[in-house]
Amino acid sequence: MSTVALDVDAVRARFSALQSPTAFFDGPGGTQCPDAVIDAIAGYLRESNANLGGPFGNSRRSDALLTQAHLTAAGFLGCEPSEAIFGQNMTTLNFMLTRTLGRTLRAGDEILVTRLDHDGNVAPWLELAHDLDLKVGFVDLHDDTTLDLDDLERQLTGRTRVVAFTLASNAVGTLTDAKRIVELAHEAGALAWADAVHFGPHGPIDVASLGADVLLCSPYKFFGPHLGLAYGRSELLESWRPYKVRPSDMTPLANRFETGTLAHELLAGFVAAVEHIESIGWTAIQSHERALGQQFLDGLPANVTLYGLPSMDGRVPTFAFNVDGHTPRAVAERLAEREIAVWDGNYYAVEVMDRLGLGGDGAVRVGFVHYNTPAEVDRLLDALGEL
């Protein structure tokens, strides 16, 4: 990867939330928003707040915003605007989309999920299987937390209808070979159903290149407001019967799956969040994050046990670990006393935590994004060493 310098001080100046003593390493649970996002949300509520389809100014501006949001989502995901679906959050969208697909499934059909996934791309399938008498198989991990693609191939059968997988683990940061997973799914005649929530702040998404049939992500993980975003391949969206109130529009395609009135102010924030990322560029973001991750790995004290890949190859800068003699909660509390924000527990990554033998207290999780600094990483390492 080529190196492009990131002026992190200039980036941080865009975030009023970062003008505090707290080092925010809690990004995997939700990132901070730049002021442009906050201003866009407030600006909509001040100047354009209305429902859609009216002949008056606020409503026309809301109509234009909805169009702009779908265009922005299309650019962010690499799809057509009519294939981009907004909703409350990724999990809610996934429950809706899986149940819509469920109308085409029959008892005995098979779904494959992975032990690397967040439960938002596991539990909807388990619940659907409960309702429809489907079979759910779990694709295992290697001990280093990489996905076992041989196990995936072994479990694929003529009854497999969906392979649900993640682009990056929200627990240990491991990337998957997403293109190969899609290829294997399609060779078996199954849909490829991708969770890009954790990958969203760390790299570009291109559903056309990936070939996924469905992909979901969460703007609040990439510097936007609390919102869900999904892509559905147009042929699928056209073939499904959506759950939809009768008077509402069924075109363009995305409207078929956007129920009720969307949170228009959050769509304004989403547009601003994507513009923020575009103004910096993925090359600079990834170069900066890789350097922070390597700094963390190089400086880990001896009292810390890391779970997952020991280098920056094949991962994003999200790390799960434990500290000798301390519970994850105690570590998180001690760090919070030093104005260092981290998570503890299982972060809804139920299967990977069980696979690692951490099904009880889980682990401490830190995640770096482009607004974090080398000085903050040093603060974290010093604090861990003193524990």
Query: What is the domain partition of the chain in residue ranges?
Result: 8-32+281-386, 39-277
Q: Would you give the end-to-end CA distance of the chain in angstroms? A: 35
CA triple 23-27-32, angle to 5 deg: 75
Mean pLDDT of all residues in the chain?
97
| Residue corresponding to tokens 């992190």 | 8
Residue matched to tokens 């975003």: 229
pLDDT over 90 for what percent of the chain?
96
What pLDDT is attached to residue 249? 80
Looking at the chain, the whole-number percentage of residues with pLDDT higher than 70 is 99
Query: 């670990």: which residue's tokens?
Result: 321
Q: Which helix (H) or strand (E) holds 85?
A: strand 84-87
The Cα–Cα gap between 81 and 63 comes to 14
pLDDT tens digits along 208-250: 999 999 999 999 999 999 999 999 999 999 999 999 888 888 8
Identify the pLDDT of residue 251.
Answer: 85
Whether CATH 3.30.70.1350 fits 39-277? no
What's this model's pTM, rounded to 2 decimal places? 0.97
The set of residues, in sequence order, having a beta carbon less than 8 Å from that of 221 and lying 6+ positions away, is 27, 28, 30, 31, 197, 198, 200, 201
The fourth-level CATH superfamily of domain 8-32+281-386 is Aspartate Aminotransferase, domain 1 (3.90.1150.10)
What does the pLDDT read at residue 4?
73
Q: What are phi and psi of 340, to 5 degrees?
A: -125, 115
Mode of pairing for the β-strands spanning 160-166 and 191-195? parallel
Give the span between the Cα atoms of 262 and 334, in whole angstroms: 40
pLDDT of amino acid 250: 83
Task: With cut-offs at 50, 70 and 90, classify the pLDDT of residue 189.
Answer: very high
Residue 274: pLDDT over 50: yes
At residue 1, the pLDDT reads: 45
Confidence of residue 3 (pLDDT cuts 50, 70, 90): low
Say if residue 279's pLDDT is above 90.
yes
Query: Does residue 264 surpass a pLDDT of 80?
Result: yes
What pLDDT, on the 0 to 100 scale, is given for residue 327? 98
Predicted pLDDT at 348: 96
Q: What is the C-alpha to C-alpha distance for residues 346 and 40, in angstroms, rounded to an integer?
A: 34
With residue 161 as reference, give the H or E element that holds it.
strand 160-166
Average pLDDT of span 21-31: 98
**pLDDT one-digit tens code per residue, 128-183:** 999 999 999 999 999 999 999 999 999 999 999 999 999 999 999 999 999 999 99
Of 226, 115, 230, nearest to 166 by C-alpha is 115
pLDDT band at 347 (very low <50, low <70, confident <90, very high): very high
pLDDT at 252: 87
Task: Kindly provide the b/e burial profile for residues 143-156, where b requires at least 16 CB atoms within 10 angstroms of the residue's own CB.
Answer: eebbbbeebbeebb
Residue 225's Cβ-side half-sphere holds a number of Cα atoms within 13 Å equal to 22
Spell 15-33 as b/e; 16+ CB within 10 A means b: bebbeeeebbbbbbeebbb
- Give the mean model confidence (pLDDT) for residues 185-210: 98
Mean pLDDT to the nearest integer, 199-211: 98
Decide: residue 9, CB within 10 A, 0-12 exposed, 13-18 middle, 19+ buried. exposed
pLDDT in tens, 71-112: 999 999 999 999 999 999 999 999 999 999 999 999 999 999
84: region left, alpha or beta (phi > 0 left; psi from -120 to 50 alpha): beta
Q: Per-residue pLDDT averaged across 190-216, rounded?
A: 98
Burial 291-309 (b: 16+ CB within 10 A, else e): bbbebbbeebeeebeebbb
Beta bridge partners of 87: 228
